[in-house]
DNA sequence: CAATGCTGAAGGGTCTCATC
DNA sequence: GATGAGACCCTTCAGCATTG
């Protein structure tokens, strides 16, 4: 090769091809320098704090990668490491951009609700904890370059380049991912744990859509009951078929406590930058809640962390468990979303000064609110809770009565006090009117539906006849699927 | 309808060690 | 000194029961 001397000490060797392209000379420590004549096209001075965006092409395989590299002073030149590319024999480097560390850390601000610039939500530094960041420390800067429709990132001490799309759409998928990561995402590392393939798929879809992290490269591990320890292969095949992940840990994560028949999948994205991007999105949803459709975030949160609780025979409430240390901001976040639907969220215990250990946000919903909540479909991605909530609501006495009530039917006054008492609250909701038709002692009332009442009953009937059967069918299909992988339990505790 | 109490287990934090 | 990858361990919570 026709090496010619560099400008610096005559020791840097490289071959300049073009204004921005060169063949590097790779030293024994896998470092190479950027030719001075190329460097000065990008920056006026050789400072210590520069970061470069380089396109590195392997001339044998013709494959190229765009990578962010921190530049280091090396004598009078600036060098970068090619250790990561040490397997490539014949490479050519094109300099795309050079910026100062400060410029790489600067983030644009944006109030856009149409397309959210990735750089407006990506934090400038990684933190050792997730949103809401209380007691969290800034750990290391995240260097970011915008190029065409992508953002290339690396953390200062990291060696994994992450590529994001330049803009994130505030659509359904993003809102769901925000809710899901808020509920189930790792607090310290970028991880995600869940036993529902549907939920895992939403998260993976989001990550694949907006980053270069692909699902078949993600590390996963299966958490399951000890009785499944001989079925590692079945479990892996099941999860591969459902979410397309093939990279599993060498051992199962066994526990006597696991209940899911297909185990719980633990994903490790191995990227602080990804975790921080997701936290940035959650923060955006918190700071500027009108950006996202709240019902999709709610669906994420409830599918992940919520559960419908049948408190009494007549009453269903909804729990979301909060983190003991961060409950206040978590509560505010959920409350902000829920209140936009006119639903009231409360904390238990109601007096925060009495907090011993467990804090949860609860929706103490009356029948009417619960019906609205059911139509909102908060548990959309959690088959079991989704069916459970619908089944419990549809079996409530008041629901059954409302569905079976005929417009214009006559009822006895005595029944209003006993079995048909729920009619009074239906009247209070203005769904029906009770018109007295005969006097004491054998009072009779005629049930007259209001227009609103007829309409709501029709929606509810449609739900009972068309929507709820689908929930059940999905649950059945899931059991059949488990059977195919020989994972169906005889006593079937998980379902 | 609202709030508190209780208990086994579900889910998530933390550790280790090699690597950059 | 931070990150990535893997493995282990323990704290917080789901869901019901009871009381206000």
The CATH number of the domain where A337 resides is what?
A: 3.10.28.10
Task: Report how far residue A28's alpha carbon sits from residue A13's, in angstroms, rounded to the nearest whole number.
Answer: 13
Per-residue pLDDT tens over the stretch A279-323: 888 888 888 888 999 888 888 888 877 888 888 778 888 888 777
Domain match, A308 and A358 both: yes
Kindly report the pTM of this predicted structure.
0.83
Per-residue pLDDT at A12 exceeds 50: no
Q: Which residue is nearest to nucleotide B12 (CA to C1')?
A: A186
Query: Which is higher by pLDDT, A492 or A195?
Result: A195
Q: What is the pLDDT of residue A4?
A: 35
**Helix H or strand E encompassing A391:** helix A383-395
> In the predicted model, is pLDDT for residue A398 greater than 60?
yes
Structure tokens at A48: 């210590």
- Top-confidence range, A100-104, A134-138, A285-289: A285-289
- Identify which of A170, A179, A113, A171 has the alpha carbon closest to the alpha carbon of residue A377: A179
Higher pLDDT, A387 or A110: A387
pLDDT(A6) > 60: no
User: Does A485 reside within a domain?
Assistant: no
Q: How far apart are CA A258 and CA A236, in angstroms?
A: 16
3-state secondary structure at position A352:
helix
Give the domain range for residue A58: 4-104
A287 domain-assigned: no
Least confident of A72-81, A115-124, A278-287: A72-81
Whether residue A401 is predicted with pLDDT greater than 70 in this model: the reply is yes
- The set of strand B positions with any atom below 7 Å of a protein CB reads 1-7, 9-14, 20
In a domain, residue A191? The reply is no
Residue A364 shares a structural domain with residue A401: no
Residue A201's alpha-carbon distances to A1, A192, A392, A489, in angstroms, are 50, 11, 27, 24
Distance in angstroms (rounded) separating the CA atoms of residues A372 and A368: 7
Burial of A268 (0-12, 13-18, 19+ CB in 10 A): middle
Higher pLDDT, A424 or A115: A115
pLDDT average, residue stretch A162-177: 87
What is the count of structural domains for chain A?
A: 3
Residue A433 lies in a domain: yes
Predicted confidence (pLDDT) per residue in A253-263, tens digit:
776 666 677 77
Looking at per-residue pLDDT, the higher value among A48 and A82 belongs to A82
Q: Are A358 and A401 contained in the same domain?
A: no
Is residue A388 in a domain?
Answer: no
Q: What is the mean pLDDT of residues A364-369?
A: 82
Residue A465: the pLDDT is 93
For the CA of A250 and the C1' of C6, the distance in angstroms is 9
Mean pLDDT, rounded, of chain A: 77
Do the domain assignments include residue A421?
yes
Q: Which amino acid residue lies closest to nucleotide B13, measuring CA to C1'?
A: A188
A310 with A402, same domain: the answer is: no
d(CA A126, CA A142): 7
Statement to judge: residues A70 and A29 lie in one domain = yes
Query: How far apart are the two ends of chain A, measured CA to CA in Å?
Result: 68
Q: Which pLDDT score is estimated for A478?
A: 85
Whole-number distance in Å between A336 CA and B2 C1': 22
How do A253-255 and A219-225 pair as beta strands? Answer: parallel
Extract the runs of DSSP E, i.e. beta strands, from A45-112: 50-58, 64-70, 72-74, 77-81, 91-100
Is the pLDDT confidence value at A87 over 70?
A: no
What percentage of chain A exceeds 90 in pLDDT? 3
Nucleotide with the nearest C1' to A247 CA? C5
Residues A366 and A401 in one domain: no
Quick: pLDDT tens for A316-363. 888 887 776 677 777 888 888 888 888 888 776 656 555 555 677 888
Which has more confidence, A245 or A88?
A245
Mean pLDDT, residues A123-131: 69
Average pLDDT over residues A78-82: 76
Q: Per mean pLDDT, which range of A289-303, A411-425, A458-472 is the poorest?
A: A411-425
Which of chain A's residues 121-180 bind strand C, using a 7 Å CB cutoff? Answer: 126, 128, 139-140, 155, 157-160
Residue A250 CA and nucleotide C5 C1' are separated, in Å, by 11
pLDDT tens digits along A185-235: 776 667 787 778 888 888 888 888 888 777 777 777 777 777 777 777 788
A190 occurs within a structural domain: no
């Amino acid at each position: 090769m026709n090496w010619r001397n560099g400008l610096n000490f005559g020791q840097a060797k490289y071959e300049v091809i073009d204004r921005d392209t060169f063949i590097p000379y790779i030293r024994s420590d896998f470092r190479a320098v950027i030719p001075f004549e190329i460097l000065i096209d990008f920056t006026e001075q050789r400072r210590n704090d520069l970061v470069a965006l380089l396109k590195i092409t392997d001339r044998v395989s013709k494959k190229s990668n765009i990578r962010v590299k921190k530049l280091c002073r090396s004598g009078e030149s600036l060098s970068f490491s090619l250790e990561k590319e040490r397997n490539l024999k014949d490479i050519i480097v094109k300099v795309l951009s050079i910026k100062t560390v400060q410029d790489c850390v600067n983030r644009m601000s944006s109030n856009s609700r149409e397309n959210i610039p990735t750089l407006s939500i990506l934090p400038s530094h990684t933190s050792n904890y997730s949103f809401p960041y209380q007691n969290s420390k800034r750990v290391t800067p995240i260097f970011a370059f915008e190029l065409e429709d992508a953002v290339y990132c690396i953390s200062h001490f990291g060696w994994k380049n992450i590529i994001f799309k330049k803009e994130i759409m505030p659509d359904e998928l993003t809102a769901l991912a925000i809710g899901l990561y808020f509920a189930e995402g790792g607090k310290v590392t970028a991880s995600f744990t869940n036993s529902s393939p549907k939920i895992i798929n939403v998260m993976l879809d989001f990550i694949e859509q907006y980053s270069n992290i692909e699902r078949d490269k993600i590390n996963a591990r299966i958490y399951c009951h000890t009785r499944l320890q001989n079925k590692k292969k079945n479990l892996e095949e099941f999860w591969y078929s459902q979410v397309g992940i093939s990279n599993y840990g060498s051992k199962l994560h066994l526990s006597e406590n696991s209940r899911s028949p297909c185990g719980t999948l633990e994903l490790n994205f191995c990227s602080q930058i990804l975790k921080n991007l997701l936290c940035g999105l959650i923060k955006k949803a918190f700071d500027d809640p009108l950006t996202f459709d709240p019902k999709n975030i709610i669906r994420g949160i409830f599918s992940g962390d919520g559960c419908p609780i049948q408190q009494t025979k007549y009453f269903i409430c909804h729990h979301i468990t909060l983190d003991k240390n961060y409950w206040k901001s978590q509560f505010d976040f959920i409350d902000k979303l829920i209140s936009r639907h006119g639903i009231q969220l409360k904390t238990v215990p109601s007096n925060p000064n009495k907090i011993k250990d467990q804090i949860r946000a609860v929706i103490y919903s009356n029948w009417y609110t619960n019906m609205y909540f059911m139509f909102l479909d908060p548990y959309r991605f959690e088959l079991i809770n989704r069916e459970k909530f619908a089944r419990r609501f549809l079996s409530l006495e008041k629901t059954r009565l409302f569905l079976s009530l005929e417009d214009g039917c006559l009822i006895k006054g005595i029944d209003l006090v006993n079995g048909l008492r729920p009619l009074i609250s239906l009247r209070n909701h203005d769904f029906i009117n009770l018109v007295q038709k005969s006097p004491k002692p054998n009072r009779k009332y005629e049930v007259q539906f209001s227009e609103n009442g007829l309409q709501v009953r029709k929606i509810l009937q449609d739900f009972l006849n068309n929507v709820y059967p689908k929930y059940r069918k999905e649950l059945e299909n899931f059991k059949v699927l488990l059977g195919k992988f020989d994972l169906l339990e005889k006593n079937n505790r998980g379902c």
